[in-house]
Structure 1
Amino acid sequence: MGYLFYDLESTGLSPCFDVPLQAAFVQTDAEHRIQRELTLRCRLPTHIVPSPDALLVTGVTPAMLDDQPLSHLEMMGQVARLMADCKPAMLIGYNTIRFDDEMVRQSFFQTLLPPYAGAMTGHGRADVLTMLRAVIMLEPDAVVVPRTPEGKPVLKLGEVCRSNGISLSLDAAHDALADVLATRDLFRLLLDRAPATMATMLANAKKSGPSGLMADDNPVILGGISRLVPVAPFIGSPTNPNARTVIDLSEDPAGILNLKGPELLALIRSGRSAVRQVKTNAQPILFSWGQAAHALTEPLPLEVYRDRARALWDHPTFTRRLALALEDRYADREPSSWVDEQLYSGGFVSNADAAACERWQQLPWDVRAGFAAQHIQDTRLRSLAIRQVFLNAPETLSPDAWRRGQEWLRHRLTTTDEVPWLTIPKALARCEELAATVEPASRPALNAIRAWLVERREALGPDEAASVERVPAAVPV
């Protein structure tokens, strides 16, 4: 199996309300020989306000936001086709499981593409940052870790690469293709210097790896950001089929065994609980006792951990109370009223709707709105389909649908309500904050961003902009 390295540069840090502007891919064979390179850029969707911070970091200018041949919808279609063409392959990036994978999934959802295409077509999912953390904990001499003057590790891709002899200049950093090539080189370096650790982490990039390590309920070792802990594999997660509950054995679990249900639930919600979740589809840092026990801080004898695990398993009511507490963990969480945040709250897309969305992608723009209204049953997808028609071909909508789309767009861009996305007023306020701290060399770029935001605001017209506050907060497109 080969590898597909990739990286995104996006409008901001919210996968639900930001979008990728650049996507770069490097496909290699199993021996890491490059077979294909591809860089894609897209225009900024009309309803998105990019973060001034992100624009300054990536060097994207306002002119570049509009001067691209592909729309966001078209770019995501090419990304989906590339992932399908490369299967089976290991998808790899740097901090991708926490960020880029989620950004792709949400963009697929919002452009009516299969949201789980990267996870359900034979790919493994690996993250070089996660693997680097594992190597640092298990084999600290294998890699040079840059540190702050206070001694804290710095794991930014560019600094790690330069500290280990991999070329990634400050000017090239945050260019997607340069980051992808540097990620590939860092991955190869880790394979060379820490082969045993990397072999386990690559096995953990597929669900079978961590599931196998937890199959016999013996204590195993779980890694977090910077520390390894012994854990007892316990029950499957009642809310996530791809997760298993484990319990930290660093402390004697006797203190939680007899907690009543509400007390146990409160402890779990507090974040201070010994109860953890291991997501088997997210490349956990998970090792057998024999491979990682040497890296524990002040470990106790293995038999002590086994006795603690047995006490958990043998307790007559703890398993049941834990399962009930985990079922209620998110019971008080209200579902979002914004369709952008409803990928996980509305259930999986049905086969019929998936087929309808595939057909929708192939139709001429002038019939897509009508097709969506008649053939897409999922209200989330139907709303997103009409949104895409408004963003890409508004002239094909009825006058009433066009008017409602304009009202939605004005609200989206200029509302002063408390909303979870970046608006023009928020972005302009952020520009003022940055003006007080930005380096002199970045001031021209910041001024250009501010001027562009003002131009976007004024393009709405004073009367229209003033009417935004009268638009209902959840106007459908």
Structure 2
Amino acid sequence: MINNNSNETSRYVIYDFETTGRNSNWDQIIQVGAILVDDKLTELDRLEMRSSLKPGLIPEPGALLVNNTSPEMLAKSNLSHYSMIKELSKKLSEWSPAIFMGYNSIDFDEEFLRKTLFKTLYNPYFTQLNGNKRCDILNMVRSASIFLPEVIKFEKNNKGNPILKLDQIAPLNNINHEAHDALGDVLATNEIAKILSLRAEDIWNSALISSTRSEVNAKIKNELLFCCSEFIYGKTKPFLVSFVCEHPVFKWPQCFDLSKDPKEFFNMSKNELSIEIKKSPKVIRTIKDNKNPIIMDYNNYLKIVNSLNLVKMNILTEQKICRKIVHLGQ
């Protein structure tokens, strides 16, 4: 079990945006929903706002249908987009320091938040500075779907992959949900968070520990081997890996996939190794340490993958392959 000793922040901000489309460069936030909760996920404060449309911006009709937003609603709002963002920035500052969370927030809501703050001359990296951290509840749900599938109820699609959309899992887990309303999504996300914090404690604590890039790297480099997961073609897949080196440009941790026997790579030349590591499936897995990866104890992998040949853990004492891979990036 991963302890939560490194997490000193005891308050969380759960937030969600409804937007005019999916392009964070051109579309805009039209509705904000956010709540401040304590370490028991009990609500302390809330914020809900809806703004008018920015001049010259044409919303995607499909997005408005999903958001249940009519052109009349956008026209009637007395709150300008800038005024809404100004109030949002003020409230988030009042709530800080905190861990900022959402459902798919790092890949969607956070992108809108950063670019919107930048355009309105506020600090775009607010959620990662001055003691603030960030997590993504969707990452936790995906990990739970493979390591603890009994915790969050879900259905599967015709390919056998879990359907983990918030509007799909909320009713299955007896959560009242006003779907595609910013505050409605926030309240449902908080209920999912409560389930995870109580019934998937290892996953919850791992996510909190991984809420900053520095903590992710410290965890990865201090563990001889560990379990991680990736979302690939609609399915979450577990990997047992060991840290090798950092990416020469992006500095992301590069880890060896121990489903492959490392001994097969020890006597390869640099050219042979360069060709081999480019093949699919990749033997070198990239951990995007700035996207709140779930890093688990290796025993979680062994619980669900029984065919692992433990002799493959020889990578822990062999360093030749590590040196070769590092040289490839130089």
Q: Same fold (TM over 0.5)?
A: yes
Separation in structure 2 between the aligned mates of residue 214 and residue 148 of structure 1, nearest angstrom:
33
TM-score, with length taken from structure 1:
0.61
Separation in structure 2 between the aligned mates of residue 292 and residue 145 of structure 1, nearest angstrom:
21
Q: Taking structure 1 as reference, are residues 150 and 247 closer, same or farther at Cα in structure 2, changes over 3 Å only?
A: closer
**Structure 2, gaps ≥5 residues long:** 1-9
Separation in structure 2 between the aligned mates of residue 145 and residue 297 of structure 1, nearest angstrom:
24
**Residue aligned with 1:140, SS:** coil
Residue in 2 that maps onto 1:379: none
Q: Taking structure 1 as reference, are residues 42 and 287 closer, same or farther at Cα in structure 2, changes over 3 Å only?
A: same
**Aligned counterpart in structure 2 of residue 16 of structure 1, from 25, 35, 52:** 25
Pick which of 40-49 and 205-214 moved more.
Answer: 205-214
Alignment of 1:260 onto 2:268: no
Alignment of 1:176 onto 2:182: yes
The number of equivalent residue pairs is: 315
Separation in structure 1 between the aligned mates of residue 254 and residue 283 of structure 2, nearest angstrom:
10
**Structure 1, gaps ≥5 residues long:** 325-477
CA shift, 1:185, in A, is: 0.6
Residue in 2 that maps onto 1:162: 171
Residue in 2 that maps onto 1:304: 312
Residue in 1 that maps onto 2:106: 97
**Residue aligned with 2:22, SS:** coil
Q: Deviations over 1:426-472 (max 9, x none)?
A: xxxxxxxxxxxxxxxxxxxxxxxxxxxxxxxxxxxxxxxxxxxxxxx
Query: Which gives a bigger RCO, structure 1 or 2 (Cα 8 Å, sep 6+)?
Result: 2
**Residue aligned with 1:37, SS:** strand
**Residue aligned with 2:248, SS:** coil
**Aligned counterpart in structure 2 of residue 223 of structure 1, from 229, 233, 236:** 229
Separation in structure 2 between the aligned mates of residue 50 and residue 315 of structure 1, nearest angstrom:
52
Separation in structure 2 between the aligned mates of residue 316 and residue 129 of structure 1, nearest angstrom:
33
Separation in structure 2 between the aligned mates of residue 46 and residue 297 of structure 1, nearest angstrom:
58
Q: Deviations over 1:224-250 (max 9, x none)?
A: 121111112121233235x32222221
Residue in 1 that maps onto 2:87: 78
Paired amino acid for 2:312:
V
Residue in 1 that maps onto 2:295: 286
CA contact (8 A) 1:230 1:250 kept: yes
Residue in 2 that maps onto 1:128: 137
Residue in 2 that maps onto 1:3: 12
Alignment of 1:236 onto 2:246: yes
**Residue aligned with 1:161, SS:** helix
How do 1:384-463 residues align onto structure 2 when only pairs under 5 Å count?
A: none
Separation in structure 1 between the aligned mates of residue 159 and residue 321 of structure 2, nearest angstrom:
46
Paired amino acid for 1:133:
R
Residue in 1 that maps onto 2:194: 188
Paired amino acid for 1:16:
N
**Residue aligned with 1:17, SS:** coil
**Residue aligned with 1:142, SS:** coil
Flag as ranges the 4+ runs of structure 1 deviating above 6 A. Answer: none
Separation in structure 2 between the aligned mates of residue 150 and residue 274 of structure 1, nearest angstrom:
25
Identical counterparts, % of pairs: 26
CA contact (8 A) 1:246 1:275 kept: yes
How do 1:43-54 residues align onto structure 2 when only pairs under 5 Å count?
A: 43-54=52-63
Residue in 1 that maps onto 2:150: 141
CA contact (8 A) 1:8 1:23 kept: yes
Separation in structure 1 between the aligned mates of residue 276 and residue 59 of structure 2, nearest angstrom:
38
Residue in 1 that maps onto 2:37: 28
Separation in structure 1 between the aligned mates of residue 269 and residue 28 of structure 2, nearest angstrom:
47
CA shift, 1:8, in A, is: 0.5
Residue in 2 that maps onto 1:434: none
CA shift, 1:3, in A, is: 1.0
**Residue aligned with 1:99, SS:** helix
Separation in structure 2 between the aligned mates of residue 113 and residue 66 of structure 1, nearest angstrom:
26
Q: Deviations over 1:153-180 (max 9, x none)?
A: 1111021111111111xxx210000110
Separation in structure 2 between the aligned mates of residue 300 and residue 128 of structure 1, nearest angstrom:
33
Residue in 1 that maps onto 2:161: 152
Residue in 1 that maps onto 2:70: 61
Q: Deviations over 1:82-105 (max 9, x none)?
A: 222111111111000111111111
Paired amino acid for 1:308:
I
**Residue aligned with 2:156, SS:** coil
Residue in 2 that maps onto 1:425: none
**Higher relative helix content:** 1
CA shift, 1:322, in A, is: 3.1
TM-score, with length taken from structure 2:
0.87
Q: Deviations over 1:84-139 (max 9, x none)?
A: 21111111110001111111111111222111011113122111111011112211
Separation in structure 1 between the aligned mates of residue 79 and residue 67 of structure 2, nearest angstrom:
19
Q: Taking structure 1 as reference, are residues 266 and 296 closer, same or farther at Cα in structure 2, changes over 3 Å only?
A: closer
Which structure has the bigger radius of gyration?
1
Separation in structure 1 between the aligned mates of residue 322 and residue 137 of structure 2, nearest angstrom:
42
**Residue aligned with 2:221, SS:** coil
Paired amino acid for 2:61:
P
Q: Taking structure 1 as reference, are residues 275 and 34 closer, same or farther at Cα in structure 2, changes over 3 Å only?
A: same
Separation in structure 2 between the aligned mates of residue 246 and residue 236 of structure 1, nearest angstrom:
9
**Aligned counterpart in structure 2 of residue 117 of structure 1, from 126, 130, 152:** 126
Separation in structure 1 between the aligned mates of residue 135 and residue 323 of structure 2, nearest angstrom:
38
Give the CA RMSD over aligned residues.
Answer: 2.4
Q: Taking structure 1 as reference, are residues 273 and 100 closer, same or farther at Cα in structure 2, changes over 3 Å only?
A: same
Paired amino acid for 2:86:
G
CA shift, 1:15, in A, is: 1.4
Residue in 1 that maps onto 2:5: none
